[in-house]
């Protein structure tokens, strides 16, 4: 690692910040009369203990995640979705109006939106045509104000994993924070970077319960990093960012790793069955390789296909105006019935256009 010095990249106002100390932080030991937090002591219209503030440290969830992911609890930050993790990282390290972040489009849109909200200077280093990192261009764009490089692997919307050696190259040569967003890692054949935290003090790995875990509605994102980086992020987050019902439901869900792994296997099998069906359609120019629960398809008249599917009540993601994704639709793998409905609708589209749909 090229001289990574965490203290030199933390914003100075965050460096000197004394974190909010919640009512529950200030006592240790046993108590059963809580008159410290101005809650409603009589209860609430709901059963259970929702009249109490939730654990600001989310200790129970972190203990369980630590064992699932084989990391220390002090290496875990929890956010209201990965989107909160992204925002908190910017607020920790990027001086508004002055510092820069690098994104590698086409990629997840929130890196750019969140950078703009935080008035970070946005530097774009597009992926190569095979959707891998352009390391030469990337190196040229790194400057003294570059604080964060956002990498997404497997990448959204392209579906591919980035070459591991390329990510390692960035980690080894950049002395700011490298974020590897692994929202889709559970669908991938590739190994997570969570196990590499000991080797890279500048690494932050993002994961989420929104995709493979099937819990997009709960909003739980995870950042894994050194205890020092996690400590800075904890200072910046709102103290009660994960609500009590979400904490309870996440704890329950984390006991069902087996069920989640069954769903992942099924989704990957359906993806592998669906991709060749698309590849055989006469107006499909390319189906890009996928390590995720979606895949990108380059198809003639993508805009019209998108509109046609909408009329049939099927929504896919139109990426046809995204650089390097011209004429591309991003298809999420659905249930068996949904996938069949999609394929049938496309067969209708083809026959309307005078094409013979190929046999699946
Ligand atoms: C879906 C997705 C996320 C998840 O965001 P949440 O806020 O956790 O729902 C993060 N990163 C990428 C690349 C995604 O596609």
Nearest by Cα to 237 from 65, 19, 60, 25 = 19
Say which DSSP state 191 is in.
P
CATH of segment(s) 6-255:
3.40.640.10
At residue 195, the pLDDT reads: 97
User: Chain centroid to CA 298: how far?
Assistant: 24
User: Which atom of ligand 1 lies nearest, measured to the CA of 107?
Assistant: 13
DSSP assignment string, 272-331 = HHHHHHHHTSTTEEEE---SSSEEEEEETTHHHHHHHHHHTT---EE-TTSTT-TTEEEE
> Tokens standing for 144?
């003294």
Which of 156, 158, 295 should be mutated for ligand 1, with most atoms under 8 A from CB? 156
Cα(83) to ligand 1 centroid in Å equals: 7
Q: Is 11 helix (H, G, I), strand (E, B) or coil?
A: coil
User: Which atom of ligand 1 lies nearest, measured to the CA of 80?
Assistant: 7
What CA–CA distance (Å, rounded) separates 308 from 313?
A: 9
Tell me if 6 sits within 8 A of 225, measured CB to CB. no
Containing 222, the helix (H) or strand (E) segment is strand 221-224
Tell me if 346 sits within 8 A of 281, measured CB to CB. yes
Please, which contacts does 28-37 make with residues 24 or more away whose CB atoms are closer than 8 Å? Answer: none
Is 208's C-beta closer than 6 angstroms to any atom of ligand 1? yes
Nearest by Cα to 271 from 355, 187, 337 = 187
The vertex-130 CA angle with 125 and 131, nearest 5°, equals 45
Backbone angles phi, psi at 14, to 5 degrees: -80, -40
Tell me if 154 sits within 8 A of 292, measured CB to CB. yes
What CA–CA distance (Å, rounded) separates 270 from 267?
A: 5
How many other C-beta atoms are found inside a 10 Å radius of the C-beta of residue 175? 17
Residue ranges per domain, the chain? 6-255, 258-359
Cα(140) to ligand 1 centroid in Å equals: 28
Candidates 3.10.50.40, 3.40.50.11290, 3.40.50.300, 3.90.1150.10; correct CATH number of 258-359? 3.90.1150.10
Cα(281) to ligand 1 centroid in Å equals: 30
Q: Distance of CA 93 to CAs 61, 90, 143, 340, Å?
A: 26, 5, 15, 46
Residues of the chain with pLDDT under 50: none
Cα(327) to ligand 1 centroid in Å equals: 23
Q: Is 330 helix (H, G, I), strand (E, B) or coil?
A: strand
Cα(259) to ligand 1 centroid in Å equals: 21
User: Which atom of ligand 1 lies nearest, measured to the CA of 220?
Assistant: 8
Cα(82) to ligand 1 centroid in Å equals: 6
Radius of gyration of the chain (CA): 23
């Amino acid at each position: 690692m090229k001289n990574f010095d965490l203290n030199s990249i933390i914003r100075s106002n965050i460096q000197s910040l004394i974190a909010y100390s919640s009512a529950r932080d200030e006592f240790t030991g046993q108590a059963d009369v809580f008159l410290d937090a101005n809650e409603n002591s009589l209860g609430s219209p709901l059963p259970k203990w929702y009249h109490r503030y939730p654990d600001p440290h989310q200790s129970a969830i972190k203990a369980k995640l630590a064992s699932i992911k084989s990391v220390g609890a002090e290496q875990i930050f929890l956010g209201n979705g990965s989107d909160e993790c992204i925002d908190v990282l910017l607020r920790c390290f990027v001086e508004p109006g002055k510092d820069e972040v690098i994104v590698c489009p086409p990629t997840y849109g929130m890196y750019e939106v969140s950078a703009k909200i935080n008035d970070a200077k946005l530097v774009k280093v597009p992926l190569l045509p095979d959707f891998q990192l352009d390391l030469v261009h990337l190196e040229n764009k790194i400057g003294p104000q570059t604080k964060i490089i956002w990498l997404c692997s497997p990448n959204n919307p392209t579906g591919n994993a980035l070459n591991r050696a390329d990510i390692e190259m960035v980690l080894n040569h950049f002395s700011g924070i490298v974020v590897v967003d692994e929202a889709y890692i559970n669908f991938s054949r590739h190994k997570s970077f969570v196990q590499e935290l000991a080797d890279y003090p500048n690494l932050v790995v993002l994961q989420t319960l929104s995709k493979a875990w099937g819990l997009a509605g709960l909003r739980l994102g995870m950042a894994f990093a050194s205890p020092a980086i996690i400590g800075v992020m904890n200072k910046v987050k709102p103290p009660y960012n994960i609500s009590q019902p979400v904490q309870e439901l996440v704890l329950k869900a984390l006991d069902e790793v087996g069920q989640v792994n069954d769903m992942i296997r099924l989704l990957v099998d359906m993806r592998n069955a669906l991709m060749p069906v698309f590849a055989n359609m006469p107006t499909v120019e390319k189906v890009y390789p996928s390590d995720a629960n979606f895949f990108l398809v380059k198809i003639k008249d993508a805009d019209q296909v998108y509109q046609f599917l909408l009329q049939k009540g099927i929504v896919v993601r139109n990426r046809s105006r995204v650089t390097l994704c011209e004429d591309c639709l991003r298809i999420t793998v659905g249930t068996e019935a949904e996938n069949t409905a999609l394929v049938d609708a496309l067969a209708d589209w083809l026959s309307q256009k005078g094409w013979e749909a190929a046999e699946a």
